[in-house]
Structure formats: structure tokens, C-alpha cells
Amino acid sequence: MNLRPPLLRYALWLVIFAAVGCGRKSTSQVVGDSPSRSTSPVSTAAQAPTGAPSTTSAPEAKANQSPSSDLARLETRVRPSVIWVSVFDPKGNLLRTQSGFFISADGRFVTTERAIEGGINAVAKTADGGIYNVTGILSASKALDVAVLHADVKQVAFLELNKTANLSQGAGVVVVGSALAGSEGSAREMTIASRDAERLEIAGATPQTSAGSPVVSRDGEVVGVVTSTGERTIARPSAALASLLSGVAAGAQPNWPATASATPRTTPKPRLVYAPAPAFPPRASLPGASGTGRFRLTFDARGNVTNIQIIQSTGNQLFDQSAISTLQQWRSSPGQGWAVTVPVTFRTR
């Protein structure tokens, strides 16, 4: 599988931009449809070196590999499958954003049950700029605080579940968060403090953004999903997740609770089909330049933006002008008039 390093060059509901200047790279995400990506399950096979044969023996080469380089390689393999899930309420307002990860090439993914509570729509974003509409929930458990949803994709990278993992106390695991969470999403080496059939307690603290992240073994297989963060990290083992998945009937259709009905929908739910990223204003490309604002977009039945309201200014007129100029170009699918509030962040790294 060709798993590319994260390139944050697009935009999402939580739009993040970085300026080009003084050697800085600019990145952006927006919510909308993205090209399909031809991918496959995360491979755990070591890559053979290219070029001239190495004169270093296998044992010597392994001895020269530092733990940090091993962790970096594992993070590179796992990261393309880890996503950033933004959930919205019936009015189009952002409820919450949390991590998750794909478990099948056709778009099934896992996050926490708390992440989707009260939501009727969501988008899933990958670190390489992929943005996918979430079609609904396939299964959820309040007791486990785990949910399985489906995203509208053709093919994506995904992680394999290790359904028979027998993790003993002291076993090493790695928690990999979303690259869109910044440094908080970096891979973390941790150890199992205790476990039972439905609970893994992991020694060490994790940030709030780690909720919904995969807990993986050294070979990149999922052994759990983080459900509680803080000074004590709690995860549900992959066996419990597999049990939840077994309850999903073949051919089951995902849905959101507020949209499930015996009466067929006569009007399709609108979705964004074109959402370019606002450009970082060149005159604002100074070290430390940043600003966050919220803009409410109103669409007509044809999918055109008819009004943009600044709910919260970024605090920088150049940022506001750039955001409004680009948001006016956004388009949604035809159907019915609707509105959505979009958080926009400009940040220089």
C-alpha cells in the first residue's frame, strides 16, 4: 500500500491554515468532496532497501535502529487510517470533534459513542486532505462508549483488528492520534497497566484529543480504542469492538437517529460539493500571526451561498476578508435551503 506522509493542504470544518514564509509550510483543510484514493490495509511488512546491497548484517542493522525510529515508522504506517471526526447538530452547528480510525476499505470507522451524541451529520477528515461525508451509524454501545459509523468513500486505508490479542500487564502498546490534532496527535509509547474482557487500563496520560484513537501493537494491528483520557487512559479491547461489529447485519444501512424513519425521504439531505480553502493573506504571513473565527453560511435551494455572517471575527481584518472571499465560492448539492457555521483558524507554524 502506498501510504503517503501527512500533507495538510486542504481545508475542513475546522479549517487550519499555515503561512509560507521564513521557511514555513502552508497547510489548509476545508469540508467538501475529495478525490478517491486507491489504498489497501496497512501493511506490516518491512520495506526492503533499494539501491546497492548493504554490507550491514540483519542483526547489526536491527541493533542500529533506535526506538524513536521504530516509533516513527509505526506512526507512518498507522497515521493514514486515523481520522478527525466533526459532528454537527440539526442546525448545522459544530457539536464536537474527536479522533477515529477506519477499519475497512469501504469506509467503516470507529470512534466513541459520546462523540456522536446529539449529532445528525458528520464529516471524517484524513491527514492527507481527504474529506468524507459520514452517512450514519451502524452500531453503538453506551456501555462500551464505542460506535461504528460509515463514511461515503470509494476506498481508504484502514487498520486490521487483532481480535485475539492477549495483552498481559506491562505489554507495550502505541496510541496514534490524528495529525490534525497537532502535536497532541503524535504517537505515544505506553504500557498496559491492567486488563479484563471489556477494559484496558493504560499507564500514562493522554490528551483529550486522543479519545477515539486506535491503540496498536508493534506490528500496527488494533488492540483497542481509547475511550477515556487524562491522567489515566482507558481503552476498550479489540475483542469487545469485534463483538459490537458482529451485531451489524449484512447489508445494514447506516443512519442517524434523527433521520431514521419508516417514511422515505423526499428531499435529499444537502452536502458540500465544493469547498476551496481560503488563502493565507501574504501581508499577514508574519511569525506568530494567527486568528480563529466562526462564519455562518446560508445556501439556497440551488446550492449557492446567499449570505455570510461573521459570528466571531478572527481579530484580523485580512483574515476575515480572505475567509469571506473564499467562502462565497462554496457550493452545496441542490435540494433545500440550509445554513452551517464554519470555524476557521489561521495559524503560522
Asked if residue 222 is part of any domain, the answer here is yes
Residue whose cell numbers read 486488563 = 195
Residue whose cell numbers read 488492540 = 223
Contacts for 198-202 with beta carbons within 8 Å, 24 or more apart? 198/144, 198/236, 198/237, 198/240, 199/234, 199/235, 199/236, 199/237, 200/167, 200/224, 200/234, 200/235, 200/236, 200/237, 201/232, 201/233, 201/234, 202/173, 202/175, 202/233, 202/234, 202/235
Q: What is the pLDDT of residue 280?
A: 82
Q: What is the pLDDT of residue 278?
A: 85
Q: How many domains does the chain have?
A: 1
Asked if residue 214 is part of any domain, the answer here is yes
Asked if residue 113 is part of any domain, the answer here is no
Which of 300, 302, 295 is CA-nearest to residue 278? 295
Contacts of residue 127, defined as CB under 8 A and 6 or more positions apart, other chains included, come to: 6, 7, 8, 79, 80, 82, 178, 179, 180
Distance CA 184, CA 174 (A): 14
Contacts of residue 211, defined as CB under 8 A and 6 or more positions apart, other chains included, come to: 98, 99, 112, 114, 115, 226, 227, 228, 229
Looking at the chain, the whole-number percentage of residues with pLDDT higher than 90 is: 36
Q: Tell me the β-bridge partners of 84.
A: 99, 125
Q: Under DSSP, is residue 206 helix (H, G, I), strand (E, B) or coil?
A: strand
Asked if residue 266 is part of any domain, the answer here is no
Higher pLDDT pick, 249 / 160: 160
Asked if residue 217 is part of any domain, the answer here is yes
pLDDT band at residue 76 using 50, 70 and 90 as cut-offs: very high
pLDDT band at residue 287 using 50, 70 and 90 as cut-offs: low
Higher pLDDT pick, 32 / 143: 143
- Segments forming the whole domain that contains residue 213: 172-238
Report the run of H or E that residue 196 belongs to, with start and end: strand 188-196
Q: Residue 177: give its domain's CATH number.
A: 2.40.10.10
Distance CA 309, CA 53 (A): 62
Residue 234's identity, in one-letter code, is I
Number of Cβ within a 10 Å radius of residue 261 = 8
Asked if residue 220 is part of any domain, the answer here is yes
Phi/psi at 240 (nearest 5 deg)? -70, -35
Residue 60's identity, in one-letter code, is E
Which of 342, 279, 287, 281 is CA-nearest to residue 316? 281
Q: Tell me the β-bridge partners of 133.
A: 123
Asked if residue 119 is part of any domain, the answer here is no
pLDDT at 263 over 90: no
pLDDT at 30 over 70: no
The whole-chain average pLDDT of the chain stands at 78
Asked if residue 180 is part of any domain, the answer here is yes
Which three three-digit cell numbers place residue 295?
Answer: 462564519
Residue whose cell numbers read 451502524 = 138
pLDDT at 343 over 70: yes
Q: Tell whether the torsion through CA atoms of 111, 114, 120 and 124 is positive or negative.
A: negative
Distance in angstroms between the alpha carbons of the first and the last residue of the chain: 30
pLDDT digits (tens, 9 = 90+) for 295-323: 999 988 888 999 999 989 988 988 999 99
pLDDT at 55 over 70: no
